[in-house]
């Protein structure tokens, strides 16, 4: 799952580049603006092996951090963050 508001310079082209390099045939993009969607309720983390936030505004990054808790976004470099799941959450979703 990729979450974005397409606000950074990479915009739609950068998002499409990331998708074209994705190894999963089931990748999905969730476009949302800061403060408009409860992302945590929209994407149960157990439904996706990986969740990334790319080409997002500072406001959307803060919004996601607020919804999922401090420390749950890992900056991978550039304009890409990974939503980190807790060990317990991963185990619960495997059952």
| Cα separation values, 91 from 39, 51, 81, Å | 21, 17, 22
Nearest alpha-carbon partner for 68 in 49, 54, 80, 86: 86
pLDDT tens across the length of the chain (95 residues): 888 888 866 556 666 666 666 676 777 888 888 888 888 888 766 777 788 888 889 999 999 999 888 788 988 888 888 888 654 444 444 44
* pLDDT in the model for residue 18: 67
pLDDT at 60: 92
In 3D, which of 74, 78, 82, 29 has the Cα closest to residue 52?
A: 82
């Amino acid at each position: 799952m990729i979450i974005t508001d397409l606000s950074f310079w990479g915009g739609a082209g950068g998002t499409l580049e990331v998708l074209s390099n994705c190894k999963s045939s089931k990748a999905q993009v969730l476009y949302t603006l800061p403060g408009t969607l409860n992302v945590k309720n929209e994407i149960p983390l157990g439904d996706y092996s990986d969740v990334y936030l790319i080409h997002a505004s500072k406001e959307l990054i803060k919004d996601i951090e607020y919804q999922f808790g401090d420390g749950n976004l890992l900056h991978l470099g550039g304009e890409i963050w990974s939503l980190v799941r807790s060990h317990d959450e991963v185990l619960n979703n495997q059952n």
